[in-house]
A and B are shown apart, each in its own frame.
Chain A
Amino acid sequence: MTAALLLRLDRISRSVAPLTLCIGLLIMAALPLRLPGFGRVAPDVALIAVFYWSVYRPDLFPAAAAFFLGLFNDVLIGGPLGASAFVLLLAHWLVRSQRRFFVGKSFAVVWWAFGMVAVGAGLIAWLVAMALALVPVSITPALFRCVLTVALYPFLTWLFARTQSSVLARR
C-alpha cells in the first residue's frame, strides 16, 4: 500500500518536474538585475523550455503545459494575458509536427533549428504586440531578445539535459 503510494507520488513528481523547473527559471529571469536595458531584452526562457521539452520529452510536456507556462509568464511580466501562451503554443505545435526532423540530429543542427523557431516566435510576438496596442512598435528589442535567447540556449539545454538524466531517466 505504502509502496504503491510512494511509487505513484514518485511518478507524479517526475511528470511535473519539467514544468516546475520552468516556473522556477521564469521567476529567476524576472528578478531585477539592474543591468541597464536588460529587463527589456531578457532572454525568453519559456521558449527555450517549450522547445527543449517538446523535442526531447513531449510525453512530459503537453500543450497544456506550454499554455500554462505562457499564462504564468504573462502575469509575471505584466503583458497582455494570453500573448505569451499564444506564441508558446504555436512553437509547441511547430516542434511537435516536425519532431521527426530532430531525431538523431547533432546539437548544432537542433540549435540552428531553435534559432529559426526563436526568430519566428519573436516576429509573431511583435505582430501580436502591435495588434493589441494598435500602434507601430519598434522591433529592435525583439531582435536583441532573439539573439540573447539563442545564445542562452546551450546553457539551459545543459541544465535540462542534466535534469532529464538525473531525475527523469530512471524508470
Chain B
Amino acid sequence: MRVALPLRALVQRFGLFFLIVAAFSLMLMGKADSLLFDSIRSSVADVVAPILDVMSRPAEAVSGAIDNIRELSRLRDENARLREENAQLRHWETLARNASDQNAALRSLLRLAPEGSLSFVTARVVADSGGIFVRSMLVNAGARHGVMKGQAVLSGEGLVGRIGAVGDRSARVLLITDLNSRIPVVLETSRVRAMVAGDNSARPKLVFLPPNATASVGDRVITSGHGGGLPAGLPVGEVAAVGDDGIRVRPFADLDRLDYLRVVRFEDVTPPVEAARTTERAR
C-alpha cells in the first residue's frame, strides 16, 4: 500500500496543481452552464438546509429575546404611536374600501381580463451569510412546497428578492441588492417604467428610465409585472437619492433582519399573445 516517498511528493505537488486547475475550470463552467451547477448546488443545499434549520433556532430565540427586552422598554411610546397610526389607518381603510368597490365596478364595466391569482408559501431564513460578493439567503421551503425559480419573495414590508435556485426542500433567494438582480418596476405616481438593478450595495439603482423621465426623492417604486413572472404592484422601495451616483432606491424590506419570508406563487393568466408582445417589448 505504501507509496515510495518521492512518488508521493510528486503526487502531492501535481495533485495541488490539478485541484487549482479544477477549481478554476469549475468557475468557468459554472459561468457557461449554470443550469447543471444550479441543480448540483441545490441538492447539496437540500442536505445542509435541515441542519441549518435546527441550528438557527437557538440564534433566533436569542435575538427574539433581545428584541422582546428592547420592546418592553419602549412599550408606552410604542403604544401611543400605534394608537395614532391606527386612527390614520382607519381613515385609509375607508378610502381603500371605496376605491376597491369602485375598482370592481369599473372592472366589470370594462370586462377587464382577471389578473393572475396569488397564493403564498411561508419560509424561514436558515442561512444569510451571502459572502462578500453575493447577496442571497437560503430558506427552508423548496419544490415540494411549491416554490419555483423566479418567484417573488416578500417580507412584511416589501419585495426582498426572487427565487434564484430551488432544491427539494430549500431554495436560494437572490436579494434585490445582488449584482445579478433585475426587477421591472414602475414609479407609483408617475407610472414611469424602469428597472431596479442591484449592485451589491445596500441601495440598488434605478436604471433604464425612458428618456426625459425623471424620478424624485420619495417616489414609491412598485413592481410593474412586465415580462411575467412577478405580479404587478408589489412594493419594492422608495427613491432615496438622485445624483451623480444614479438614482438609488431604498428597499422597504429590512434586508438585514429577515426571519420569515413569503414566497409569492403567481399564476400568470396573461393571454399568450399579450405575453409574447410584452417580452418582445422588453427586448
Q: Interface on A for B, CB 8 Å cutoff? A: 27-42, 62-64, 66-67, 70-73, 75-86, 89-90, 92-93, 96, 125-126, 128-129, 132-133, 135, 137-138, 141-142, 145
A78 near B138 with CB under 8 A, answer yes
B30 — nearest CB in chain A belongs to which residue?
Answer: A81
B174 — nearest CB in chain A belongs to which residue?
Answer: A78
Min CB distance, A128 to chain B, in Å? 7
When the two chains form the complex, which single residue of B19, B55, B137 contacts A89, counting CB atoms closer than 8 Å? B19
Q: 4 additional contacts, CB 8 Å, given A32-B125, A39-B128, A83-B27?
A: A67-B23, A70-B23, A85-B19, A89-B16
Min CB distance, A27 to chain B, in Å? 6
B127 near A138 with CB under 8 A, answer no
A142 near B132 with CB under 8 A, answer yes
Residues of chain A with a CB closer than 8 A to B259's CB:
32, 34
CB contact under 8 A between A64 and B27, given known A32-B126, A75-B48, A138-B200: no
Residues of chain A with a CB closer than 8 A to B44's CB:
72, 75
Residues of chain B with a CB closer than 8 A to A84's CB:
131
Q: How many residues of B contact A (CB 8 A)?
A: 53
B20 near A89 with CB under 8 A, answer yes
A128 — nearest CB in chain B belongs to which residue?
Answer: B27
A90 — nearest CB in chain B belongs to which residue?
Answer: B20
Give residues of chain B (202-241) contacting chain A, Cβ–Cβ below 8 Å: 202
A89 near B23 with CB under 8 A, answer yes
B63 near A78 with CB under 8 A, answer no
Residues of chain A with a CB closer than 8 A to B192's CB:
none
Min CB distance, B255 to chain A, in Å? 9
Residues of chain B with a CB closer than 8 A to A77's CB:
127, 129-131, 134, 136
Min CB distance, B129 to chain A, in Å? 5
Min CB distance, A81 to chain B, in Å? 4
Give residues of chain B (148-193) contacting chain A, Cβ–Cβ below 8 Å: 164-165, 172, 179-180
B15 beta carbon closer than 8 Å to chain A: yes
B77 beta carbon closer than 8 Å to chain A: no
When the two chains form the complex, which single residue of A39, A66, A89 contacts B129, counting CB atoms closer than 8 Å? A39
A93 near B16 with CB under 8 A, answer yes
Residues of chain A with a CB closer than 8 A to B129's CB:
29-32, 38-39, 42, 76-77
Residues of chain A with a CB closer than 8 A to B51's CB:
27
Min CB distance, B177 to chain A, in Å? 10
A79 near B20 with CB under 8 A, answer no
Give residues of chain B (37-57) contacting chain A, Cβ–Cβ below 8 Å: 37, 40-41, 44-45, 48, 51-52, 55-56
When the two chains form the complex, which single residue of B55, B202, B256 contacts A27, counting CB atoms closer than 8 Å? B55
Q: How far is the CA of A95 from the CA of B31 in the complex (A)?
A: 29
Q: How far is the CA of A141 from the CA of B130 in the complex (A)?
A: 12
B103 beta carbon closer than 8 Å to chain A: no
A31 near B136 with CB under 8 A, answer no
A35 near B256 with CB under 8 A, answer yes
Min CB distance, B172 to chain A, in Å? 5
Residues of chain A with a CB closer than 8 A to B258's CB:
32, 34
A82 near B27 with CB under 8 A, answer yes
Q: How far is the CA of A1 from the CA of B26 in the complex (A)?
A: 43
A39 near B12 with CB under 8 A, answer no
A27 near B48 with CB under 8 A, answer yes
B23 near A125 with CB under 8 A, answer no
Residues of chain A with a CB closer than 8 A to B56's CB:
31-32
When the two chains form the complex, which single residue of A36, A86, A137 contacts B23, counting CB atoms closer than 8 Å? A86
B59 beta carbon closer than 8 Å to chain A: yes
Min CB distance, B161 to chain A, in Å? 12
Residues of chain A with a CB closer than 8 A to B40's CB:
81
Residues of chain A with a CB closer than 8 A to B136's CB:
77-78
B277 beta carbon closer than 8 Å to chain A: no
B133 near A82 with CB under 8 A, answer no
Give residues of chain B (236-283) contacting chain A, Cβ–Cβ below 8 Å: 256-259
B55 near A75 with CB under 8 A, answer no
Residues of chain B with a CB closer than 8 A to A80's CB:
27, 30-31
B63 near A125 with CB under 8 A, answer no
Q: How far is the CA of A62 from the CA of B13 in the complex (A)?
A: 11
Residues of chain A with a CB closer than 8 A to B92's CB:
none
A93 near B20 with CB under 8 A, answer yes
Q: How far is the CA of A34 from the CA of B257 in the complex (A)?
A: 5
